[in-house]
Amino acid sequence: MNAAQLMDEQYRYQRYVYDWSRKYYLLGRDSLLKEIKMGFNDNLLEIGCGTARNLRKLAYYYPNNQFYGVDASALMLESARKQLAGSLYESQIHLQQGLAEQFSLNHAPNAQGFDHILLSYVLSMLPQAAPTLQHIIGLVKPGGYLHIVDFADQADLPNWFQGLLKQWLTWFNVHPQLSVMQPLEQSALQQTGVLQKRYIARRYAVLIHYQKL
């Protein structure tokens, strides 16, 4: 079973309650979305867009911009398209099935890349997160931004809570690894990028804005 099939199996039934259920533990998503500042002609790609929940919110904030979403699960995209059908955002949001590591600049609106790329609780689900993140950085145009929200290390939370959370996340094939952020931190040290990072909810989650110089 390949990665796309695994995601379809995982979300075959979850997709019907995904938006309702995830709001209780995918913390920081709306905060990150509100912090994204898009220019008039900017575009944005969300990798792992799922039901397009985030893209619909961004399209509401920026009705004149174009948004793109890619997801490994064809079933999740089926749900996304049903929610977009007949909506005000249908012509703004363009969806495509695929894997993050296989997405290329051939899919971008122009050869330079995307103005913004969003990863919302995606890195912790990727089996090869570090090299995939490097690939994704290459899809951001010079001067563009990468926006990330994901699980942190929960270091300021009780040990019992950390243990229960990690076990629960493992059941959903989620494996948080803050070390995958090292390329962004190294880029900032080398002054080839600007990194803003903050933790929320006692290091439950981390929010990142990275500008590629």
Cβ-based burial of 159 (10 A; exposed 0-12, middle 13-18, buried ≥19)? exposed
Could you tell me whether strands 140-151 and 205-212 are parallel, antiparallel, or unpaired per DSSP bridges? Answer: antiparallel
Residue 71's φ and ψ, nearest 5 degrees, are -145, 145
Predicted confidence at residue 144, as pLDDT, reads 97
Q: What percent of the chain has pLDDT over 70?
A: 89
Cα-based distances in Å from 96 to 23, 41, 187:
24, 21, 30
For the stretch 163-188, pLDDT in tens is 999 998 898 888 998 899 999 999 99
Predicted confidence at residue 7, as pLDDT, reads 54
pLDDT above 60 (res 22) = yes
Q: Please give the residue that has the higher pLDDT: either 66 or 7.
A: 66
Q: What b-and-e string marks burial along 167-189, b requiring 16 or more CB atoms within 10 Å of the CB?
A: eebeeeebebebebbebbbebbe
Q: Please give the residue that has the higher pLDDT: either 15 or 159.
A: 159
Which H or E run includes 3?
helix 3-11
Predicted confidence at residue 10, as pLDDT, reads 52
Instruction: Read off the pLDDT of each residue in 84-108 and give the average, rounded to a whole number.
Output: 92
Instruction: Read off the pLDDT of each residue in 129-137 and give the average, rounded to a whole number.
Output: 95
Instruction: Read off the pLDDT of each residue in 83-88 and give the average, rounded to a whole number.
Output: 93
Judge contact between 207 and 197, C-beta under 8 A: yes
Helix (H, G, I), strand (E, B) or coil at 211: strand
Predicted confidence at residue 35, as pLDDT, reads 98
Instruction: Read off the pLDDT of each residue in 135-157 and give the average, rounded to a whole number.
Output: 96
Tell me which of 6-10, 105-109, 139-143 is least confident. 6-10
**DSSP character at residue 51:** T
pLDDT above 90 (res 69) = yes
Token pair recorded at residue 179 = 């070390």
The whole-angstrom separation of Cα 163 and Cα 181 is: 22
